């Protein structure tokens, strides 16, 4: 019987960085489960452990404690050679810092991972050309990273991550430095890597607009997952917040009306001021009541 392990899974993952005498707890018991073929997003504040998590799943670093499974395999006790194979064949990694080699052309940057696994020249040529065409850089193959725009560099990094056809793609802030429009195109491409190429995709992002386009949104804070939501659940949570805001505003408005009536009775405001403020407050009250009513409350 196969165990109940998910395609990608972490259990109580802990990562402690030792910097001289100082210990940094980057992950503090992080657990998640992702199924094959899903596209998910990981969203959370700076320093919450997102890159650390991807680096463990991508086989770049070991966790201090806990277990991780990638493509169904337990990588917690993997040897350096096994992690090397994971990096080369199983997980395509688009780094926050891109990691393109500045002296190599776009073509050579994409070819590099294929050279590393000893792919034959013809296969390399076919694959690199196809990938660069797919990401829309067919005419930029001989440009070095410095001779490419931010969005183009990001696309070279995606192509390089896909070179060895890994079943999993992880992307760390793939739209971080890009303008909205260029970022949207990159996201569109990552979505198609999931739907058209059938790959399991993990995207780390700060951007709720991007997260909303994935199957599930994992919120990470202080090295732990604090919620897992579908986009519609996340939307509902936003509605909850709005409802609470309206309720608080309504309470305040009612208090303001009471207060206004009192100061008028005590003749501390003129009839004109009273009338004007009374009308405004009632309009606000009616608006809030109507909105809450509209939301079924």
Ligand X SMILES: Nc1ncnc2c1ncn2[C@@H]1O[C@H](COP(=O)(O)OP(=O)(O)OP(=O)(O)O)[C@@H](O)[C@H]1O
Q: Which residues bind Mg ion (CB under 5 A)?
A: 50-51, 96
Given the complex with ligand X, which of 46 and 232 has the nearer CB atom?
46
Phi-psi region of 227 (alpha: psi -120 to 50; beta: other; left: phi over 0): beta
- State the residue number with the nearest CB to Mg ion: 51
Q: Does the footprint of ligand X cover residue 47 (CB under 6 A)?
A: yes
Q: Does the footprint of ligand X cover residue 24 (CB under 6 A)?
A: yes
Q: Does the footprint of ligand X cover residue 49 (CB under 6 A)?
A: yes
d(CA 54, CA 46) in angstroms, rounded, equals 14
Selected range binding ligand X among 50-58, 68-76, 245-253, 283-291, rule: CB under 6 A? 50-58
User: How remote is the C-alpha of 178 from its chain's centroid?
Assistant: 15
Q: How far is the CB of 15 from ligand X (least distance, A)?
A: 8
Site for ligand X in 76-105 (CB under 6 A): 96
d(CA 75, CA 88) in angstroms, rounded, equals 14
* Structure tokens that stand for 98 in this block: 């891109």
Q: Which of 3, 21, 46, 293 touches ligand X (CB under 6 A)? A: 46
Q: Does the footprint of ligand X cover residue 26 (CB under 6 A)?
A: yes
Q: How far is the CB of 48 from Mg ion (least distance, A)?
A: 9
Beta strand segments in 131-215, E: 168-172, 200-205
Selected range binding ligand X among 49-57, 125-133, 242-250, 267-275, rule: CB under 6 A? 49-57
d(CA 63, CA 16) in angstroms, rounded, equals 8
Residue 205 half-sphere exposure, CB side, CA atoms within 13 Å?
A: 25
Q: How many C-beta atoms surround the C-beta of residue 282 within 10 A?
A: 12
Q: How far is the CB of 18 from ligand X (least distance, A)?
A: 8
Identify the sign of the CA torsion 148, 151, 153, 158: negative
Cβ distance 214 to 34 under 8 Å?
no
Among Mg ion, ligand X, none, the one that 49 touches (CB under a kind-dependent 5 to 8 A) is ligand X
Q: Which of 10, 48, 175, 253 touches ligand X (CB under 6 A)? A: 48
Given the complex with Mg ion, which of 46 and 180 has the nearer CB atom?
46
Among Mg ion, ligand X, none, the one that 179 touches (CB under a kind-dependent 5 to 8 A) is none
d(CA 281, CA 291) in angstroms, rounded, equals 15
Q: Which residues of this chain interact with ligand X, rule CB under 6 A?
A: 17, 19, 24, 26, 44, 46-52, 96
């Amino acid at each position: 019987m196969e165990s109940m392990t998910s395609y990608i899974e972490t259990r109580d993952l802990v990562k402690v960085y030792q910097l001289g005498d100082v210990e940094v707890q980057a992950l503090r018991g992080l657990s998640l489960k992702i199924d094959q073929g899903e596209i998910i997003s990981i969203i959370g504040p700076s320093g919450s452990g997102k890159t650390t998590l991807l680096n463990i799943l991508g086989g770049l670093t070991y966790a201090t404690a806990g277990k991780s499974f990638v493509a169904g395999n337990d990588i917690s006790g993997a040897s350096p050679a096994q992690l090397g194979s994971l990096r080369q064949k199983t997980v395509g990694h688009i780094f926050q810092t891109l990691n393109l080699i500045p002296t190599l052309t776009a073509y050579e940057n994409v070819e590099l991972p294929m050279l590393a696994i000893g792919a034959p020249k013809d296969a390399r040529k076919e694959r690199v050309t196809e990938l660069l065409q797919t990401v829309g850089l067919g005419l930029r193959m001989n440009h070095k990273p410095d001779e490419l725009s931010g969005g183009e560099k990001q696309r070279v990094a995606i192509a390089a991550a896909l070179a060895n056809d890994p079943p999993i793609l992880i992307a760390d802030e793939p739209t971080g430095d890009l303008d909205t429009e260029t970022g949207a195109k990159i996201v569109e491409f990552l979505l198609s890597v999931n739907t058209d190429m059938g790959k399991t995709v993990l995207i780390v992002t700060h951007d709720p607009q991007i997260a909303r386009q994935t199957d599930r949104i994992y919120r990470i804070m202080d090295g732990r997952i604090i919620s897992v939501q579908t986009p519609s659940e996340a939307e509902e949570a936003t509605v909850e917040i709005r409802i609470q805001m309206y309720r608080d505003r309504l309470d305040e408005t009612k208090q303001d009306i009471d207060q206004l009536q009192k100061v008028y009775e005590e003749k501390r405001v003129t009839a004109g001021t009273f009338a004007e403020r009374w009308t405004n407050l009632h309009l606000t009250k009616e608006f809030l009541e109507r909105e809450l009513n509209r939301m079924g409350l």
